[in-house]
Structure 1
Amino acid sequence: MSKTEGSAVWSGGIKDGKGAISTKSGALKDYPYGFASRFEGKPGTNPEELIGAAHAGCFTMALSLILGEAKLTAERMETKAEVTLEKVEDGFAITAVHLTLRAKVPGADDAKFQELAGKAKAGCPVSKLLNADITLDAKLES
């Protein structure tokens, strides 16, 4: 078992308040977030952006493992995770994540690559955590 943590502090109301997010590793230390950075495109981060980064990282790392099991090694993989936050009946919900992967994997054919990428999408721990519609657009580059 592995455990780590992230933390947040908040002061004020929902619209005028301010928060800061930190990670145990120090990758984020008191990094600002708030209503404006979440809903109005202002500077700062937001939980959905962090989930997107976590999902992209987890999926890409899982695919690296799966490729290795198939005796393949990626020269380069780049994943973007687009996270959709929508207003729903009882507030807000993350309803979807769309993963876009561009990869250069010497020796891989597209059919095998698609199979392995799909396996990584379904099996990565962050995918398993999210109760959202997770889609994948994977392209093998030559």
Structure 2
Amino acid sequence: MASKASAVWTGSLKEGKGTISTATGVLKDANYSFATRFEGSDAGTTPEELIAAAHASCFSMALGAQLGGAGFTPNKIETHAAVTLAKVDGGFAVTKIALTTTADVPGATKEAFDTAAAGAKAGCPISKLFANNTEITLDAKLV
């Protein structure tokens, strides 16, 4: 299955503006710009914010799968992702993704939870996408 999205950009890098849309319509003409991405001004999103959303949701699902495989059903998994875009040799790159998750998992021990969290971090497709070129950290707490 292929997920689809599109982006339209008009104008120069610094003065231009763009929109992002997904085939499902969940995002429709979401604004993005240089100012949003690099200056923290202007309303809209950034590619890195979309990566953060993708990674947080992917990890949460993967953790749910890992816990289910170990015989646990989580009441709630909440994951936040912080994506760092930094200047490196040759331009800019995503250099770090910090995942922070809390989970309410009845009956799970800390050891079982930590094992599931490590498996989710390694097995999540978005983690795999960045595994060889981006530092991925995980702070996982069982509540």
Instruction: Kindly provide the amino acid, as one letter, of the partner of residue 16 in structure 1.
Output: E
Does 2:24 match 1:25? yes
Instruction: Kindly provide the amino acid, as one letter, of the partner of residue 67 in structure 2.
Output: L
SS state at 2:51 partner: helix
For structure 1, list consecutive stretches of 5 or more residues without a partner in the other structure.
Answer: none
Moved over 6 A (4+): none
**Residue of structure 1 equivalent to 2:116:** 116
Deviation at 1:41? Answer: 1.2
SS state at 1:45 partner: coil
Does 2:14 match 1:15? yes
Deviation at 1:123? Answer: 0.5
| Equivalent residues in 2 for 1:14-93, closer than 5 Å | 14-42=13-41, 43-93=43-93
Does 2:137 match 1:135? yes
Count of matched residue positions in the alignment of Structure 1 and Structure 2? 140
Deviation at 1:25? Answer: 1.0
Distance in 2, Cα, partners of 1:33 & 1:61 = 27
SS state at 1:21 partner: strand
Deviation at 1:40? Answer: 1.3
For structure 2, list consecutive stretches of 5 or more residues without a partner in the other structure.
Answer: none
Distance in 2, Cα, partners of 1:48 & 1:135 = 16
Deviation at 1:54? Answer: 0.2
Instruction: Percent identity, please.
Output: 58
Deviation at 1:15? Answer: 0.5
Instruction: Kindly provide the amino acid, as one letter, of the partner of residue 111 in structure 2.
Output: A
Distance in 1, Cα, partners of 2:79 & 2:39 = 25
Distance in 1, Cα, partners of 2:121 & 2:98 = 10
Deviation at 1:66? Answer: 1.0
Distance in 1, Cα, partners of 2:137 & 2:115 = 14
TM-score for both structures, normalised by structure 1: 0.96
Deviation at 1:111? Answer: 1.2
Distance in 1, Cα, partners of 2:6 & 2:29 = 9
